[in-house]
Amino acid sequence: MDPEAAHTARESLDLVFHMSNILETGLDRHTLSILIALCEMGLNPEALAAVVKELHREPPPSSPMPTTSSSTP
């Protein structure tokens, strides 16, 4: 990628990240850059948005509760 194209891509990502923050999407720069790349590859943006919404809706996987062994003296 030539320097001018890299500069333009960086500015575009900065703009998208700023809009994302205004809309309070909770998406970071890395995630946004992946979503942009997927759109550029031809994936449907509305389908990607639906997937992102669904992933935000799901509760995070719960970590196993720490087990404590109780020993009797």
Whole-number average pLDDT of the chain:
86
- List, for residues 36-69, the tens digit of each pLDDT value: 999 999 999 999 999 999 988 877 677 666 666 5
**Measured in Å, how far apart are the chain's first and last C-alpha atoms?**
68
| pLDDT mean over 17-25 | 94
Query: Does the pLDDT value for residue 12 go beyond 70?
Result: yes
Listing DSSP states for 47-59 in one string gives HHHHHHHHHHHSP
pLDDT at residue number 73: 53
Residue of higher predicted confidence among 66 and 21: 21
